[in-house]
Structure 1
Amino acid sequence: MEFGLLGPVEAREGGRPVDVGHARQRAVLAALLLEDGRPVSVDRLVDRVWGERPPLRARDTLYGYVSKLRARIPIERRPAGYVLATQATDLHEFRELVRQARSAPAAQAAPRYDRALGLWRGEALAGLDSPWFAATRDALRAERKAVELDRNDVVLDLGGHVALLPELLARGQDDPVDERLAAQVITALHRAGRTSEALQHYEHLRRSLAEELGADPGPALRDLHRELLGPEPAVPRQLPAPQRWFTGREREIRELTDTGSTVVITAIGGAGGIGKTALALHWAHLHVEDFPDGQLYVNLRGFDPAGEPVAPGAALRGFLGALGVQDPPQDLDAQAALYRSLVADKRLLVVLDNARDSAQVAPLLPGGPRCTALITSRRQLLGVITEHGAKSVSLAVLDEPAARALLTSRLGDRVAAEPDVVRALLELCGGLPLALSIVAARAVTRPDLPLAVLAEELAENRLDALDDLSSSLRTVFACSLRVLSADAVGLFGLLGLTVAAELSLRSVAALAGLPVARTRALARELESAHLVQQHVPGRYRLHDLVRLYAAEVAPADDVPLRRFVGYFAATAYAGDRLIEPHRPPVDPPAGEPVALPDVPAAMAWFDGEYESLLAAQRQAVGRRWHDLVWVLAWALTNYHLRRGHAAEDLAVWREALPAAEALADVPKQVAAHKFVGMALVDVGVYPEGLAHLGRALDLVDDDYDRAGAHRAMAWGLERQGDLAGALAHADAQLTLFRTLGIPVRVAEALNDVGYRAAKLGDHARAEACCGEALALNRELGHRDGEAATSDSLGFIAFRHGRADDAVRHYRYALDLYRELDNSYEEASVLRHLGDVHADLGQPDDARACRRAALTLFEAQGRVEDAAEIAHLIG
């Protein structure tokens, strides 16, 4: 009996096919045959046949397969497993013929190789699909390929290149980076009189190796290429190999390619470590065929920490030498003129890497209409852009998918194995290619080092962790500072004092203590060096790693930062006075506020500077500037109320409470307890919130603050569901404010009493109180109070069964809150209005109001309100 493995698995007896069953049964037979007479255990057979997903009764199933095979095939059962002792396989015959061919003279070897290769009927083990069979099939495929290459060498030695060439060309297309196969193709083409095609095949291989592997052809292939070239003049090919692990940048590659002009000078800008050179070389190798007359490259070392930039004359002499000029002129202008003459009619690519400034690159720009220059620099090179019409392509950091792809290309399966750690590494590197490359290099050189350890090092001190190989982020950033003016370097250090994600021009001016115009000029210098980014007009941000370096070179003096935080505190104080002019003022903080003409301007300023305001308070906390910590919380309260930022209000007042205690200022402590309590109640933490509100009542030592504490306690108790308690505190508040004779507070207190009375069913008192409140608010011009009272009157009318009046009151309140830009109360009124429309049998109007309210509730983090209204919407 004979067996076939070099194709579909088969058996023949006396030349006739033997039925060996379905695919799984054939897999059992093949697994035994491939062991060449060695026993195979049941467990190993199960693993080979099914891999990691065996059936539930795999062993029983296997026994059944073996039993059926043993009916026709002599399979033995031994203690170590099953054995099929035979060498009657086409694989064994193939290997024996190859062994004979490799020891025979060429004339006898060729037919043996052909007989061996003729035994293959297709893919080995065809139709068997487990991982073990796939790996075995790959190994057999590699074994066959090696034999084919051996056969090709013999046939070429015997002069059979013409007959062999079609097969070689087809194989070369399937495997374009196999250097041995390429040498055979090139040899056959050359011997067939097709030397130009042979040279083209070599060039195609060279590019494929560079793009796919970042490597050059080996010595044997280079020697063969030189033999074919003979005495022809060399074309300059100075491009360094592209970065093997280049990822992303699809948009920038399109920008470089879509030039729209025959003369293209592209300045690729970006901060140090952003990947400018990698992009330039990647694009250059992608388009190398477009420049058959050669590619020139020079590293101008514009920001080299170890030496001075390359002089234009030195770079020109290198270019002229590559173009065949043995004795170039000494004068720079003459060198440039000769250079431009030599390349005038050529299709040539010139890569000017790491340029310091426009003056350095101007003499190196080719003048020919078919030439292209790529320039990389950390500066914007405005002279090249304006005087030579260069197209500017600026690089940002890599996005998360591209950054992950870069790590995956270097680290392989380790990235998928530790997803949470890799996510942390990506965040710590901030998409900066140099940082990612350093992390990858450390991981590659230490395969035993868990990525989690590397992430811990980065989290502790990112710049130290990225500063231990030949690449150093500190050195890269320091070199960028070398080209700046002293004032710009000083401003860069000051930016390191801040922690806000982005900064307005006015806040930077406050930090620097400079006029806005001077600050803008220095910021422009930093922007030109790609150390800051003006992502929207008048607002600047730094990459996290750049910010860390700025912090290292920041001055030790706290005066600039105190001035910076003071600017935010003073402007927030002024903005709050506009938003709520009836609020009793506290002592204004020291600082230079920006002018805010009206309430919309104040709200716009709070919106734009909100994250910076929170960051300013965090920095004040860290430096124990208690007065600024407290006043920032105080100045943010009404803005938080209008925007529904309950959680954020809680956060700032939690910091302000210990600040007030450190100041030993009782009124500040009362305010802090009151606002912490209200914020806790607003986010649903009732016991702790009411405890703080009670503490405010205990501490208060004047009637005005006591009335305010009663008002807060009434609100908290109402939210908890204690309406009677809420009304009692509201009455106490009203009595105190009437005694103090403060009309605006009396109006607010009347509305509070009226609303709670309505909730308790005392509609007559409710209507009387709210009517008096509405008249008083209108007399005082108190729009907030008028809006709140109109909302209460809508509720009262709805409870009385006067739905049309309720709609009118709610609509009026809604218009006022929108005019006041108070989105928190706008959401509440929309919810009430939706209830009325639903009661009136107007489902479309009800749904529209409730959906608008839900959107605002979700944005404001009002979880309970959002859940309730979502249930109503259905």
Structure 2
Amino acid sequence: MRWRLLGPVRLTTDSGEIDPGRGKQSCVLASLLLTPGRRVSVEALTERLWEGSPPRSATAVAPYVTRLRRVLEPVPGAGELHHVAGGYLLDIDPDLIDLHLVRKQVRLAADTGSVDLFAGALDGWQPEALAGVPGAWAAGVRDVIARERLDAFAQYGRLLAGLGRREQAIAVLDPLVAEHPTAEPLVAVLMSALAETGQSAAALRHYARAHDAIAEQLGGRPSPELLALNAKILRGGPAARHVPAQLPAAPADFTGRRSETERLDGVREMVVISGPPGVGKSALAIHWGHRTRQRFPDGQLYLNLRGFDPEGAMTPDDAARDLLVALIPAERIPVGLAARSALLRSELAERRMLLLLDNARDAAQVRPLLPGGAGCTVVVTSRNRIPGLVAANGAVPLALAPLRPDEAEALLARRLGAIRVAHDADSVRVLVTATAGLPLALATVAARAATRHSLAVVADELSRSRLDGLRGLDAGADPRTVFSWSYHALTPPAARLFRLLGAHLGPDISAAAVDSLAGENAVATLDELTAASLLTEHRPNRYALHDLLREYAASLVEPGERDAARQRLLDHYLHTGRAGAMLLDPQRQPLDLKPAGADVFPESLADEQETLAWFAAEHANLMAVLRHPAEPAEYGWQIPWTMVDHLDRRGYWDDWIIAERCAVEAARRCDEPLAEALAERLLARAYVQTGRFAEAEPHYAAAIELYATVGDLTGRANTLFAMAWMWEQRDRYQDCVREISAALELYRLVENEHGVARALNALGWFEAHLGEYDDAIEHCQAALALATRLEDRYGQAATWDSIGWIHHRRGEFGPAIAALDRALTLHRQTGDLFQQADILDHLGDAHAAEGRDADAVDAWREAVAILERLDHPNALRIRAKISP
């Protein structure tokens, strides 16, 4: 027996179909079947039946209900119709109603990634629901269910494409898109599948049909997402959305946890895996994430929240930013936790992803990172149970206990060989008991035992080894006893390096930095520590200590040994960063440093790309260093100096503010007024980047005062120049002219010709915005002459851009185009892609103003291609000029 809402409303039994009535009676029945087990009020039924013209009788609905009871009563299981509190309720299992069953099957198929279940569910989903049911209400319901059906097909197509079955996805979706060209999710999946199989022309034809249909039928234009997809296909780039795969490597020899894995398989939205340090929370989560990769076609995000890090947990603000960086360009990431949290929810809303939040501290750290919909699965690991997430957010609690003896023995057997373990069961029991069933401790035991011929010797050593002064984590044996035993078995160089790793402040460390930390080549000792399972190579040439091992290592290092190692590491970061900073901005005034010691080995960075990659890899380490008071204090302002361009280009403006605050304080401690002035100026600039102008102003004023105190006119001029840029962001061009004029006077006074040239150009730019075009052209031409004499191609290009913009504003389109062409040629010589795109945008505007539409479109298309290559959000704005 089954009720049908897909197609005509009817009841199907073994004996055939039963017509439950038509007209208003079918409307009442459909209302009850759509919400089984829930009351439908008489008022709602009346409105649906008579659409604003209800009969005078308050019991007008009752006859239709009576007739329905006569239909239901002879059919066992068809449901019972009850009158309840001003309405009616149909008591029936939702699985006996085709629409609810199909919805359930689609959800299950999406969760499990089952193609067969999806195909079976959609095969029975008829295109028209409630066929024959009269009235506006029924028509509205039909439209909603029809859109739901198309969205389900889009999910099905996305799953097929994600599994590499793109041709099948095309075959399923092509006829649907032909029938429903305005269904944008469906169109997007089909376009992506076509482009990924080399059928870009067909993908673009579908876009054109969708564009026209949306304009004709809906009076609108395609969504930004569909516009962006079309742009990517036009430029021949990848059509598919980036799919992050951030999970660390799957743990080797993962053993046991069968029941826990089965519980995770049943989780659909969120689970909190809790347990003591070393019990294997992260290993279980990562193992399960790799095992269920096909369940998450849009990728996997991983973030270590460092909830119990001695130097402090990651803030939710930083965590939201780091998750967003994997999904969108850094330039689009806003400032502030509320804005980032909202954007993260938006970015995750249409994705089916795994979000693994490792090592969380509490619910307050996790909540701002949670997706808003049910498409993503969130796995949280923590030493705490985090009951707030369970109570308020519906998380499934999964408390992880130590391995059972049989599981612990199985782990040793996988590491050491089943035969060897079986032949010495007594020694194995000693090892299992001594490690308290903690996988981390068992791994160190197995690593040690792998080098011995007799497990009995290993068990005897462990039973006699003790660590004074450390209490056990629970009533069982202390796993740190195992660590001490493994530590004492190391060679002296490896033991020393292990201690020094406990002095490192950041979350991980590169092999190159390890050499400086140790003051010698440490390749062999790194291999020894990883072989002993005391250190993990979690990425190529990058290493990390487990939290518990890190605490243990830190307890062993002597203060003098620790401080010397930290200073070597600081010198490593400082000298490498200083060289990288000069690669990113060769025009900067170099930072004078003391030479690095012979036992420090700074890295050699080849070019801008390698430099940016180095800063990105070391970002968390550099910020950890700044949050920890440095001795000597010079590092506190010198390291932020190296980070400026990295922080600005990557959009880490909140970290830039933190870094410059540290720099201001450190410079004061060192009595370095010039360094303090620079830090104040850069702190103000970081505030301006985040739109916090009121907070920027006092720091600019402090910089001006400090430069005046030490008599640094160039520093004052640079600060005034920066202040003019701040006023420009607020469209206060009179203030811009005031500040830049004062800067120009100072540059002339100190005979800084580069400063004079750029100030003249800026002055002309600001005057043009005030409509003072004659003065603007005069100042820009003077700037151009000086920049040409100085052979400053960047300055020449910037000035030609200003001149072109001024001519455009004066309606002189020919001279504008000529000037912008000159600027474009110069920037092509410098290789600055973003500036090329910016000038191409201006050039397109000038061509369009002169009526040269084809030339305008060519310029804008080239700009879009560059910005798409840079993954910059301005691409959408310019793209809209091509396809308004």
Tell me the TM-score normalized by structure 1.
0.47
Q: Rg bigger for which structure?
A: 1
Tell me the TM-score normalized by structure 2.
0.46
